[in-house]
Structure 1
Amino acid sequence: MTGDTPRTAVDLLDAIAVGFRAQAEAVLREHDLTYDQWRVLERLALAGPRTMRELRTAARLTGPTLTRVVDRLAETALVYRDVDAADRRRVVVHVSERGRRLYDRLCPDLGRIERDALAPLSSEEARTLGRLLERLSAGR
């Protein structure tokens, strides 16, 4: 794409997301985590135990991908699974103490990446951007 070609909003959002993800993956790789594994760990750390169905929606992953991600996180003792007491057919995933410590250790680095990405904006612009992105993602 040349410098004088207009870029669509979707193209701009994608470029920002790709850049952020690449920086986040570099940090996560040092801890033997993938971005998808981080998303699952983050959802569990922030929202508490979730069924696989809830986690699939929250992390925006397909069923097979989520199963692989949770399997790997469980193998490394970052999460654990148990049977839902209310419905024994459902599996509930929990963040382990080890997973919580890793989440707490990584948050500052990933937060810095986000702050750096938003640095060109004023505080008010960053809040407005956050609200606008929330509105855009509400139906997804």
Structure 2
Amino acid sequence: MDYVQARALNGAIRTIGMRHRALAGSVLRGVGLAVGQEALIMELGENGPRTQAQLAAAAGCEPPTITSAVRRLEALGLVARRPSTQDRRAMVVELTPSGRELLDDLAAAWVQLAEASVAGLSRTGGEDLLEALGDLADSLRAASGGPETPFRPKPRMLRDHEAPE
């Protein structure tokens, strides 16, 4: 790859990230969330109660970031925290009834975001696009040495669970 190709590729990836985040912010405001909050709500919806450390690992960010995000969601009445029965130092986060009620609206918003994101595509779509983006996400994770955060969708999306601590 030469410099011109590298600049085009890096510019496209940067633009995609910035524009997708802006569009996500617009869509998520419709359900009362900010970008990033939806990931925690969906993680709890998929996997049930999690420790803040588990949430940080799933989100690929540092524990202080999760603590702040959880406090904001708690203030909105969407999650509740309680001490872990397994580890006195850990806090377990779970969806409140209001948080669970938000899951269907959040799923609809996520579909709206995905549809808006690909609405103008003419050359690539469907499974090919998902595979290419999955490969790109995996490649970027490997290149950055980042934590293992699954990009590919899980079939059991947004189910309530009783998860052990």
TM-score range (shorter-chain normalised) is: 0.7 to 0.9
The 5-angstrom pairing of residues 1-140 of structure 1 reads 6=5, 7-119=7-119, 120=121, 121-136=124-139, 137=141, 139-140=145-146
Contact map agreement 1:20 1:114 (CA 8 A) in 2: no
**Structure 1 residue runs of 4 or more that deviate by more than 4 Å after TM superposition:** none
Contact 2:52 2:93 in 1 (8 A): yes
TM-score by length of 1: 0.81
Tell whether the 8 Å contact from 1:78 to 1:95 is kept in structure 2 after alignment.
yes
Higher RCO, 1 or 2 (CA under 8 Å, sep at least 6)? 2
- How far 1:79 moved relative to its partner? 0.6
* Shift in CA distance, 131/69, structure 1 to aligned 2, threshold 3 Å: closer
Residue identity opposite 1:123 in structure 2: G
| SS of residue paired to 1:113 | helix
Q: Is the Cα–Cα contact under 8 Å of residues 51 and 93 in structure 1 kept in the other structure?
A: yes
**Deviation of 1:8 (Å):** 4.4
Q: What TM-score do the two structures reach when normalised by structure 2? A: 0.71
Contact kept in structure 2, 1:49 and 1:92, CA below 8 Å:
yes
Taking the aligned partners of 2:102 and 2:34, their CA distance within structure 1 comes to: 13
Task: Confirm or deny: 8 A CA contact 2:38 2:106 kept in the other structure.
Answer: no
**CA 1:134 to 1:83, structure 2 compared with 1: closer, same or farther past 3 Å?**
same
Q: Percent identity?
A: 31
TM-fit CA distance, 1:109: 2.2
Q: Secondary structure at the match of 2:36?
A: helix
* Structure 2 portions without partners, runs of 5+: 147-165
Q: CA deviation at 1:52?
A: 0.9
How many angstroms does 1:111 deviate by?
Answer: 1.5
Instruction: Give 3-state SS (helix, strand or coil) of 2:94's partner.
Output: strand
Query: 3-state SS of the aligned residue for 1:35?
Result: coil
Deviations 1:71-110 (A, max 9, x none): 1111121011112121122111111221121121122122
